[in-house]
Chains A and B, each alone.
Chain A
Amino acid sequence: DTGVSQNPRHKITKRGQNVTFRCDPISEHNRLYWYRQTLGQGPEFLTYFQNEAQLEKSRLLSDRFSAERPKGSFSTLEIQRTEQGDSAMYLCASTANYEQYFGPGTRLTVT
């Protein structure tokens, strides 16, 4: 399968804990994006990478959030000291020809 994959698919954590999500993009895509989607809303842009360089971060990405793409392949999104407001679906996408291919998402529930 050459699609975008994300792990885990679901994560339940207690408030204050740290969580990390992984995204594996389509191998030849050099741009990778992270989005957050809350219930009843469209995805909101968080950040994107061109190869290993993080080129833009949304104001939604507070200092508790950090994203990396160490070798320009897979990416991780870490949330420190999770809050209930962080509960959402976190989507990853990679790009070819202005078309973004989305992974299935990681649903985070903070209790």
Chain B
Amino acid sequence: AQSVTQLGSHVSVSEGALVLLRCNYSSSVPPYLFWYVQYPNQGLQLLLKYTTGATLVKGINGFEAEFKKSETSFHLTKPSAHMSDAAEYFCAVSGPNNDMRFGAGTRLTVKP
């Protein structure tokens, strides 16, 4: 079975500071991993995904994540936070039928 744990339900950073959102996964098969962003009252938008190949994946809006098998982690980073990055972020692992298992989410607040 697949599962995801997001460490930290709330993260607050200053504008221009590094963003680090933590995600650890559990999977009985090679995982497909995803980060989604959700703005209030909207659906989820894909930021980036890891399926196979290069372990450092780059996504939209300057975000990137690194798949570390030895640590079972897929942390999301962005070098410099922008006010528009304030949102809820979800890490997800894809199951054998492509049904996703999501973490509980991390709410990112960006302070001016």
Contacts and interface: CB of A to CB of B under 8 A. Distances in A.
Given A41-B105, A43-B90, A95 B45 contact: no
Nearest to B43: A102
A98 B94 contact: yes
A101 B49 CA distance: 12
**Which of the four size classes fits the interface of chain B?**
20 to 34
B97 A55 contact: yes
B43 A103 contact: yes
B43 A41 contact: no
**Which of the four size classes fits the interface of chain A?**
20 to 34
B44 A102 contact: yes
A26 B42 CA distance: 17
Nearest to A4: B43
Nearest to B9: A40
12 contacts: A4-B43, A33-B98, A42-B4, A44-B102, A55-B97, A56-B97, A56-B99, A91-B44, A95-B98, A98-B51, A102-B45, A105-B41
Interface of B: 4, 9, 32, 34, 36, 41-46, 49, 51, 90, 92, 94-95, 97-105
**Shortest 7 CB-CB distances between A and B: which pairs?**
A42-B102, A102-B43, A102-B44, A104-B43, A45-B99, A42-B90, A43-B102
Given A93-B44, A95-B98, A104-B42, 19 more contacts: A31-B98, A33-B100, A35-B100, A41-B104, A42-B4, A42-B102, A42-B104, A43-B102, A48-B98, A56-B99, A91-B44, A98-B49, A98-B94, A99-B49, A100-B34, A100-B98, A102-B45, A105-B42, A107-B41
